[in-house]
Chains A and B, each alone.
Chain A
């Protein structure tokens, strides 16, 4: 595979060797990788939106899958639009649209600008963080279908969301979390302001009534922090206790409540110490970590969104020979559907007429389309690439195969068994030690001096709990999560960082993960008299009339297409047609050879993924089609190996294709033709051998693997369903960040350990000394503050320009905004 030259002007990916496609942008010819990117780049330029290329901070999504058929005609019909959208004042309508391919703020600018060029658009609100846009338009002036077409043209594939409860819930959740965070933050700062004079007052002397005032005011400020900002932790703890399990929330809540109650008691009785500063800091840092995690989770998307991307909202129903557009939810079993080329099935069904090819990759991961004839079944969410099909509906809505998978994932997500385990072990360990220590102190004091038993036990709880748990772990996790988010790695479940640090094995999916999931012509072998370029041109001409994924591979080769006549599609075999008076066939070797009398298929072609071009005088050429390896894949595998992680491929594809990719990416272990259950079985074998396995995948067929893996990593542009079951999401759709993420996870664990060690050593040293009166209070106070500051600063190191194992500096890492 030869690579070189500049990357595609639009999407930034490497341009395949031998491809010359130029897009006219801003009066200059720019090299692009495919016709899709060319169309998008020229549309953007033609609409006067060139500045997009200046301002964007990530390359755009590939545009090579712009369907040639119009998917949006249903949205031109007023009665249907009325049912799908919401009414706004003055007769306007609004709808929320999920935008696929949104990568940066410049994309949102582009969407906004392109839509405003249409008359009748009243308001556009694009949120790049959630990749959603809210459109308000005047149905009298512009049709919704036209707006969706504009979005598709600029490379942002729209998915209209019928209703938007999930989005509203997410916004409400985010706002509440932000308010709680603000209360904790303001409270922490205020209490610190009063804590410092209290500490200093201990040594330099302070009037007793001022001291009491400061303590009472600290208490006043801490009340909303403990009750309002800390509320989610109590809720979580209560749920865990009711479910008879222990989550991280339990020790956290016990820590907050005990420290707070003890401090309030002491403040009101004017005795002992108050720990309001610890309580507020504890709540603030925990809330901060939770907030960052929640933003990542919202970004990863919900299962409902995933469903919206896969299943269409509308369908074409046939009744008494008349075709009508209906909403997908109106369909019933027994209805007859017409599904045209390029359309997605809205329900499960049986083909009753037509011969087509269906792309089932979203369900099975198989990259080659499946032939469908009368009597075969089709599934909701899959795409018809061949001739129009008439389908009898057999299952709708929640009875479809797709909904079954979604429901399975939803349940798995709600239970989160594997994720809970890691956190629970840690929580149980801390909780056990702390409770045991406190009980021991209480017992000992009970024999020495019963009146001091309770305060002493409380002191142990208060002092050990906040220091060990509050700052050491959350500050480090929050810093690492924020640093990773800037590198395009979203941490959906922060417990994953702990597990990732211990990982020993990586189980890769092939198609779409190690490879880009795009088939390209890799090798041309001439078998007749015609030169290579001429053969390729003939092949492109024939294939330009086809919707098959193999056709895309030929079209992407960049050869201009001539006109073919008398085209005939033979399902499962190939195409036949005439180019410039010459009868030609393209397809499987046997099919292509059959046109010429007595033509033989050369040895070796039958086994591999070869497509042949044949004429009446025998075979002309053979083309080898392969899915291309990601350019960064081999580097990634090598770096992971240096970090001690062994790689292995578990693919559903055929053996020879898997072996080739394995060789190129430098992976020795590989297995092919695995069904999702077999992938899971392989994973379980590894896990039972004591390996900690990272699963990397992109498709729905990888979802079981991802769910079973100790750490699940999903590709940013893979199936939305795979993302919902992932712990980490590589937003930039590149493997380059994976080794860096592993080493950052390890550094995070190191920092957590350092912090815990420091806190425990400090407490072990200072507590007994202080208890026996050997440390003056002012020194204890300074030591206490310095200990907390040291822990926070140590954690902040994680967010500052980390290095990966090769010493390549991570770029663009700003110091954390949250210190």
Chain B
């Protein structure tokens, strides 16, 4: 049973690391907005849509 003398401190170190990582993530703003980043994949290139006459390519970012 003496293995617990190693495993328990090891577990505590891991918990400490987990908490530190979580604090870092919170401080970094990772939890400030949980909804809109999911939409960011739609930002860079628009999903395929049938091209319309006289339309500019949808991925243009510069001018409307």
A, B assembled together: yes
- Chain A positions near chain B (C-beta within 8 angstroms): 26-27, 47-48, 50-51, 55, 105-106, 108-109, 112-113, 116-119, 126-129, 171, 174-175, 178-179, 182-183, 186, 190, 193, 207, 210, 213-214, 217, 220-221
Contact with A along B33-64 (1 / 0, CB 8 A): 11110110011001101001001101001111
Write out the residue numbers on chain B whose beta carbons fall within 8 Å of the beta carbon of A50: 49
**CB-based contact A182/B43 at 8 Å:** no
Write out the residue numbers on chain A whose beta carbons fall within 8 Å of the beta carbon of B4: 210, 213
Closest to B33 in A: A127
With A105-B39, A129-B33, A175-B26: A183-B19 Cβ-Cβ less than 8 Å? yes
Q: Which B residues from 2 to 24 make CB contacts under 8 A with A?
A: 4-5, 8, 11-12, 15, 18-19, 22-23
How far is the CB of B50 from the nearest CB of chain A, in Å? 8
Beyond contacts A118-B64, A127-B36: 11 other A-B pairs, Cβ-Cβ < 8 A, are: A26-B49, A108-B36, A109-B39, A112-B36, A113-B42, A116-B43, A119-B62, A129-B35, A175-B31, A182-B19, A186-B15
Option from B19, B26, B31, B46 in Cβ contact (under 8 Å) with A48:
B46
Most chain A beta-carbon contacts within 10 A, residue among B26, B34, B61: B26
Write out the residue numbers on chain B whose beta carbons fall within 8 Å of the beta carbon of A119: 62-63
A47 to B64, CA, bound (A): 7
Write out the residue numbers on chain A whose beta carbons fall within 8 Å of the beta carbon of B31: 174-175, 178
How far is the CB of A106 from the nearest CB of chain B, in Å? 7
Write out the residue numbers on chain B whose beta carbons fall within 8 Å of the beta carbon of A179: 22-23, 26
A108 to B42, CA, bound (A): 12
Write out the residue numbers on chain A whose beta carbons fall within 8 Å of the beta carbon of B36: 105, 108-109, 112, 126-128
Option from A48, A55, A207, A217 in Cβ contact (under 8 Å) with B8:
A217
Option from B11, B35, B62, B63 in Cβ contact (under 8 Å) with A108:
B35
Write out the residue numbers on chain A whose beta carbons fall within 8 Å of the beta carbon of B62: 119
A567 to B42, CA, bound (A): 49
A697 to B31, CA, bound (A): 33
**CB-based contact B35/A220 at 8 Å:** no
**CB-based contact A128/B19 at 8 Å:** no
A348 to B28, CA, bound (A): 44
**CB-based contact B61/A116 at 8 Å:** yes
Closest to A120 in B: B62
**CB-based contact A105/B23 at 8 Å:** no
With A127-B32, A182-B23, A190-B15: A210-B1 Cβ-Cβ less than 8 Å? yes
Pair count A-B, CB < 8 A: 86
A109 to B46, CA, bound (A): 12
A471 to B26, CA, bound (A): 27
Write out the residue numbers on chain A whose beta carbons fall within 8 Å of the beta carbon of B8: 213-214, 217
Write out the residue numbers on chain B whose beta carbons fall within 8 Å of the beta carbon of A47: 64
Write out the residue numbers on chain A whose beta carbons fall within 8 Å of the beta carbon of B58: 48
Option from B32, B39, B43, B64 in Cβ contact (under 8 Å) with A174:
B32
Option from B5, B18, B39, B55 in Cβ contact (under 8 Å) with A186:
B18
How far is the CB of B12 from the nearest CB of chain A, in Å? 7
Option from A105, A183, A221 in Cβ contact (under 8 Å) with B38:
A105
Number of interface residues of B (CB under 8 A): 34
Write out the residue numbers on chain A whose beta carbons fall within 8 Å of the beta carbon of B46: 48, 51
**CB-based contact B43/A113 at 8 Å:** yes
Write out the residue numbers on chain A whose beta carbons fall within 8 Å of the beta carbon of B52: 27
Interface of chain A: mostly helix, strand, loop or mixed: helix
Closest to A111 in B: B36
Write out the residue numbers on chain A whose beta carbons fall within 8 Å of the beta carbon of B47: 51
With A105-B38, A117-B64, A182-B22: A213-B5 Cβ-Cβ less than 8 Å? yes
Write out the residue numbers on chain B whose beta carbons fall within 8 Å of the beta carbon of A213: 4-5, 8
Closest to A189 in B: B15
How far is the CB of A654 from the nearest CB of chain B, in Å? 44
Write out the residue numbers on chain B whose beta carbons fall within 8 Å of the beta carbon of A193: 11
**CB-based contact A108/B19 at 8 Å:** no
With A118-B64, A179-B23: A171-B42 Cβ-Cβ less than 8 Å? no
A375 to B61, CA, bound (A): 53
A127 to B37, CA, bound (A): 9
**CB-based contact B63/A117 at 8 Å:** yes
Write out the residue numbers on chain A whose beta carbons fall within 8 Å of the beta carbon of B63: 117, 119
Closest to B62 in A: A119
A531 to B12, CA, bound (A): 85
Write out the residue numbers on chain B whose beta carbons fall within 8 Å of the beta carbon of A207: 1
A213 to B8, CA, bound (A): 9
Option from B27, B42, B61 in Cβ contact (under 8 Å) with A175:
B27
With A105-B38, A175-B27: A190-B55 Cβ-Cβ less than 8 Å? no
Write out the residue numbers on chain A whose beta carbons fall within 8 Å of the beta carbon of B39: 55, 105-106, 108-109, 112
Write out the residue numbers on chain B whose beta carbons fall within 8 Å of the beta carbon of A183: 19
How far is the CB of B11 from the nearest CB of chain A, in Å? 7
Option from A55, A109, A171, A210 in Cβ contact (under 8 Å) with B32:
A171
Most chain A beta-carbon contacts within 10 A, residue among B18, B33, B52: B33
How far is the CB of B55 from the nearest CB of chain A, in Å? 7
Most chain B beta-carbon contacts within 10 A, residue among A48, A182, A220, A221: A48
Closest to A104 in B: B35
Closest to A127 in B: B33
Write out the residue numbers on chain B whose beta carbons fall within 8 Å of the beta carbon of A214: 8
A183 to B55, CA, bound (A): 54
How far is the CB of A212 from the nearest CB of chain B, in Å? 12
A171 to B1, CA, bound (A): 47
A127 to B43, CA, bound (A): 15
Write out the residue numbers on chain A whose beta carbons fall within 8 Å of the beta carbon of B1: 207, 210
How far is the CB of A127 from the nearest CB of chain B, in Å? 5
Option from A48, A105, A106, A217 in Cβ contact (under 8 Å) with B55:
A48
Write out the residue numbers on chain B whose beta carbons fall within 8 Å of the beta carbon of A26: 49
Could you jot down 19 A-B contacts, CB within 8 Å? A27-B52, A47-B64, A48-B46, A51-B49, A55-B42, A106-B39, A113-B42, A113-B43, A118-B64, A129-B35, A175-B26, A179-B23, A179-B26, A182-B19, A183-B19, A186-B19, A190-B11, A210-B4, A213-B8
A744 to B24, CA, bound (A): 38
For the complex of A and B, list the 9 residue pairs with the smallest distance between their C-beta atoms, beginning with the closest.
A109-B39, A117-B64, A108-B36, A105-B35, A127-B33, A182-B22, A128-B35, A175-B26, A178-B26
How far is the CB of A358 from the nearest CB of chain B, in Å? 36
How far is the CB of A128 from the nearest CB of chain B, in Å? 5
Write out the residue numbers on chain B whose beta carbons fall within 8 Å of the beta carbon of A210: 1, 4
